[in-house]
Amino acid sequence: MLTRIQGQLESISDDAVPAATLSTGGSIAVEILLPKYLVEALEPKIGQQITLHTEVYLESQGQGTSFVPRVIGFGSTSDRAFFRVFITAKGVGNKKALRAMIEPPSAIAAAIVSKDTKALTKLPEIGKRLAETILAQLSGKIEQFVGDAIMNQTPNRSTIIEPRTMSGAAGEAVAALMALGEQRIEAERKVSIACTNLPDDTDVDTIVSMIFSGRGA
């Protein structure tokens, strides 16, 4: 199994599913499909040595009469692991997942954990029905991929995964965390995760206690 490729990044295509051409030395070059969010980070590295963590699959041709091997590249093993879980949702294949991933896995995972259907439908090719399927089938499977959704964004780029405005006890818990020095998006992330495991009428003290206990972070 091909799990990692290191080489010189020669070019990146501007196709619906972008592909990087990586020279591994001598006369060998490999075409590697990329998720959309990774293109912006890799473009300044054209001509440089890079490492991509890879996934290989067989793409059917001619109504399944033949198959072509395809290589997909990711910036980390964690991002690759998220992709493997993401495509297990019914209706999300390899190519659709790559086109949909215009945001880092941490941002998409945060939307799933928060059960934010509206945020998911802002991703290309993810309609309301598919978003609901993703929430139903992936809830409880992607919490480990949730991180600060703005960490992988450039300073002047606004993410499509917008922080939710929280009210009631959840909103008070966010305010409490911010008073202790947390950034809003991180506070909302922690509160969202905690609230997925608590009843709707949970008070603010219980939410904050769960977060500080490590069960909601």
Local confidence band at 147 (pLDDT 50, 70, 90 cut-offs): low
Local confidence band at 150 (pLDDT 50, 70, 90 cut-offs): very low
Quick: pLDDT tens for 12-37: 998 888 999 999 877 889 999 999 88
- Supply the pLDDT for residue 148: 43
- Supply the pLDDT for residue 54: 94
pTM score of the predicted model: 0.67
Quick: pLDDT tens for 159-197: 444 444 456 788 788 777 776 777 677 777 788 888 876
Residue 86 in this model has a pLDDT that exceeds 90: yes
Quick: pLDDT tens for 89-137: 999 999 999 999 998 888 898 889 888 899 999 999 999 999 999 999 9
- Supply the pLDDT for residue 64: 64
Long-range CB contacts for residues 107-110, cutoff 8 Å, separation at least 24 = 107/149, 107/152, 107/159, 107/161, 108/82, 108/161, 109/82, 109/142, 109/143, 109/145, 109/146, 109/147, 110/146, 110/147, 110/149, 110/161, 110/189, 110/192
Give the helix/strand (H/E) hosting 41.
helix 36-42
- Supply the pLDDT for residue 217: 53
Local confidence band at 88 (pLDDT 50, 70, 90 cut-offs): very high
- Supply the pLDDT for residue 132: 95
Nearest of 3, 89, 88, 72 to residue 38 by alpha carbon: 72
The structure tokens 């495509």 sit at 87
Quick: pLDDT tens for 37-72: 899 889 999 999 999 999 999 887 766 678 888 999
Residue 8 in this model has a pLDDT that exceeds 80: yes
> Which structural domains are found in the chain, ordered by start?
4-145 (1.10.150.20), 168-213 (1.10.8.10)
